[in-house]
Copies of this chain bind each other. A is one copy, B any other.
Amino acid sequence: MKKPKKLLLLLLLSATAIQAQKAPENLVQYAHPMVGTQKMGHTYPGATVPFGMVQLSPDTDTLSYELNGKYNPDIYKYCAGYNYDDRTIVGFSHTHFSGTGHSDLGDFLIMPTTGPLQLNTGTADRPQSGYRSAFSHKNEVAEPAYYKVKLDDHNITAELTATTRVGFHQYTFPGTEPAHIILDMMAGIYNYPDKNVWSYVRIENDSLVTGYRQTTGWGRTRTEYFAMQFSKPFKTYGARKYDPKEVYRGFWGRFDQTQGWPEQAGRQLRLYFDFSTVAGEKIKVKFAISPVSAAGALANMRAELPGWNFDQTRRAGQQLWQQELSKVTIQTPNRADKENFYTALYHACLSPTIYQDTDGQYRGLDQQTHRAEGFTNYTTFSLWDTFRALHPLFNLIQPKRNADMVQSMLAHYDQSAEHMLPVWSHHANENWCMSGYHSVSVIADAVLNGAVPPAQAERALAACVATARHRWYDGLGDYITRGYVPNERSGTSVSTTLEFAYDDWCIAQLAQKLGHADLYQEFSKRATNWQNVFDPRANAMRPRLADGSFRPKFDVLSTNGQGFIEGNAWNYTLAVPHDPAGLIARMGGNRRFVPHLDSLFTMHLPDSFFAETEDITREGIIGGYVHGNEPAHHAAYLYNYTDQPWRTQAQVRNILARQYHPTPDGLGGNDDCGQMSAWYLFSALGFYPVAPGSGQYALGSPLVHGAILHLENGQQFTIQVKNQSAKNVYVQQVTLNGQKLTQPFLAQQDVAKGGTVVFVMGARPIWK
């Protein structure tokens, strides 16, 4: 009989496989959430699972956006709630962005305390003046899906873990009476005056609390629901309202709502829960959130975290991280490189975030409840950043998830009153942050990779075209008419023109793929519009006036409102990712272009540059190359389009070595929802998507000594690196599946279908 034999063989193979996988390396140990929490990284150290809806993390301050009626510059340090330089923790809140340069969230801050009840936060220099606490990093542990800290002022050990939709707190109390757990509904990140729109809290019974919080701000109409379950009944509870004046008290005035009153509503609200504890007693809190309803939050809790086993939940969370990190296994003798790599992969798998209840219901951009049918709904699309390398990374190592993200963007489009694909969207809000319409890049890249079914692809193209034809959008009307955004129309006229041109090229590729010749023509023509802001005399991109002339006043180094954003003319002149050859030709060919590009990495910037440029540190630049801001991310790879690709290899290794460290201050700029990390991951593996949508990666110089991409299709793409060392940064030869490459590029499909690439490295540049 045949069948039993096959079965036996399968069993044997499985056993062997199990044997081989018996002790996979623990990759979670290399991922350090604390990286980037100091200086400009704007990451958070708290507990979350891959793409989790809950990001449960300590906030070291909850500043008001205004100080004495003016912008408070310190607010910027708290985009992710935590600043490594701080010495006090205010509490642990449940939602955080990773690496953004503006912010929101920080919902539902919880703090365990001992001693007399204090409901104000206190100040950083006098933590004992409020409920916050001093802490020190020596008593702090930050791992994927786990965070621990000792709260010195309260002598409480706080531990945090999470499932996708539930934050799990474990507080070990010292037995000091009284003990409290505070729920601060007012606290938040980027706490503008009047940001809090409404809060509603119900004490359902002696251990369950539900409610919601509405805010405005970056997310203009944001509502988050919660259900909070204590492991032990509280003895007493109470609330304080901090609204300047209650609008109406009336018959409510008969009731003392400050103690034991089970229903609270107002604009500014804090609650507390009192417990009796013995020394070493652990009180746990499960805190589920939902974009839809308190009932949804409670259902999320019951589905994901029915029990109370903290350690098991932590292990389950770390197992999820192990699975996620295992999608790329690397070889390197340098622990720091491994730490950089898996920390980057960790940071790359924080955003976009899942945004739906376990039953598929989510809040749409129209503020209505929808159900995701056939996909998982995501939010937190920082697309100006992430179209560059983060989504191309997902498109390669997790195309299904990326396709769900595309579906989420299309749902956003369907729900958009403006009929726009997302620009920067979070939690059922479009904040319009930055420029372009880079959803189209993500969509084109995904469709071209075959991850999006044909019917969806047509729908996606229609959404892209509609988005790109809105004349009201950010100078787009002028751009369509004139071929560029005039300087009079916009403070970022040049960068916007360049971004539109690239996005249009993406739409053209998508149209071509789907056989729409007319659209291909239309958008291919628009894709050449970058030429309209190139001034040959300045050999640079330059603001152009409505009359066609270039703006006379022009400083190629300035980023200050002269037509660019997060970059100067020097950097943006390179921003033609879809036509480097055309750009090089316009800039005088290789002979003029290569030294020009060289000088980017060697120039000396004036101090004024740092005063006016956002989101980066002095460490975040190399010459005039600003790695901390995204527009330059493809720059080092442009040598590939000249006759000197070895210069790419040198610069990539230089950037990898200088811009990433496995330390709190290890990121030279905002991680920007994973884009900085995705740059690292691609570059460390030896290739980079210069123009997503092109189906092509530009080769660089691998940092790893070898790697395997474990692809969703069951295949592996193996990267072998011979003669690798810190000195041997130059690629001597590359073979793909045994065939020598003649150009420094890899086809996306050749990677995606699996295979082996072999880099042979050396200390001297030889590849021409």
Contacts and interface: CB of A to CB of B under 8 A. Distances in A.
A250 B204 contact: no
A203 interface: yes
Determine which residue in A192, A210, A366 has the highest number of CB atoms from chain B within 10 A of its CB, and name it: A366
A641 to B, nearest CB: 33
B198 A198 contact: yes
Contacts of A175: none
A293 B434 CA distance: 31
Contact of A294 (B198, B368, B432, B474): B368
Interface in A191-232: 192-195, 197-198, 200, 202-204, 210, 212, 214, 216-218, 220-221
A255 B741 CA distance: 49
A265 B366 contact: no
Interface in A236-252: 245, 247-248, 250-252
A198 B221 contact: yes
A7 interface: no
B250 A433 contact: yes
A218 B248 CA distance: 7
Which size class do A's interface residues fall under? 35 or more
Nearest to A424: B251
A176 interface: no
A255 B194 contact: no
Nearest to A265: B221
Contacts of A522: none
A369 interface: yes
A145 to B, nearest CB: 31
This protein's copies in its complex? 2
A295 interface: yes
Contact of A247 (B202, B216, B433): B216
A434 B251 contact: yes
A311 interface: no
Nearest to A194: B247
Contact of A254 (B200, B295, B474): B474
A418 to B, nearest CB: 6
Interface in A413-455: 417-418, 423-424, 431-434
B434 A366 contact: no
Given A221-B198, A255-B472, A418-B262, A247 B294 contact: no
B418 A265 contact: no
Interface string A356-397: 000000000011110000000000000000000000000000
Nearest to A416: B263
A250 B193 contact: no
Contacts of A254: 432, 474, 490
A216 B248 contact: yes
Given A221-B265, A366-B202, A367-B200, A252 B432 contact: yes
Contacts of A423: 251
Contacts of A216: 198, 247-248, 265
Given A247-B217, A254-B432, A368-B295, A263 B417 contact: yes
Contacts of A722: none
Nearest to A243: B194
Contacts of A248: 192, 195, 216-218, 220
A87 interface: no
A551 interface: no
B366 A294 contact: yes
A262 B472 CA distance: 12
B212 A367 contact: yes
A591 B293 CA distance: 64
A102 interface: yes
Given A294-B366, A368-B293, A417 B202 contact: yes
A221 B245 CA distance: 16
Determine which residue in A217, A254, A295, A472 has the highest number of CB atoms from chain B within 10 A of its CB, and name it: A254
B198 A250 contact: no
Nearest to A434: B251
A195 B368 contact: no
Nearest to A215: B247
A621 B567 CA distance: 80
Interface string A178-199: 0000000000000011110110
Nearest to A199: B221
A221 B193 CA distance: 21
A197 B197 contact: yes
Contact of A192 (B218, B247, B263): B247
A195 B267 CA distance: 11
Contacts of A212: 367
Nearest to A198: B197
B247 A193 contact: yes
Contact of A262 (B204, B217, B250, B417): B417
Contact of A369 (B293, B431, B472, B474): B293
12 contacts: A195-B248, A197-B198, A198-B198, A200-B221, A217-B248, A220-B265, A250-B433, A251-B424, A251-B431, A255-B432, A262-B418, A295-B368
- Give me the 8 closest cross-chain CB pairs, A-B, nearest first: A251-B432, A263-B417, A262-B417, A202-B417, A221-B265, A217-B248, A192-B247, A216-B247
Given A220-B265, A251-B424, A251-B433, 19 more contacts: A193-B247, A194-B245, A194-B247, A197-B198, A198-B198, A200-B367, A202-B366, A212-B367, A217-B248, A220-B248, A250-B431, A250-B432, A251-B432, A252-B431, A252-B432, A263-B418, A293-B369, A294-B368, A295-B368
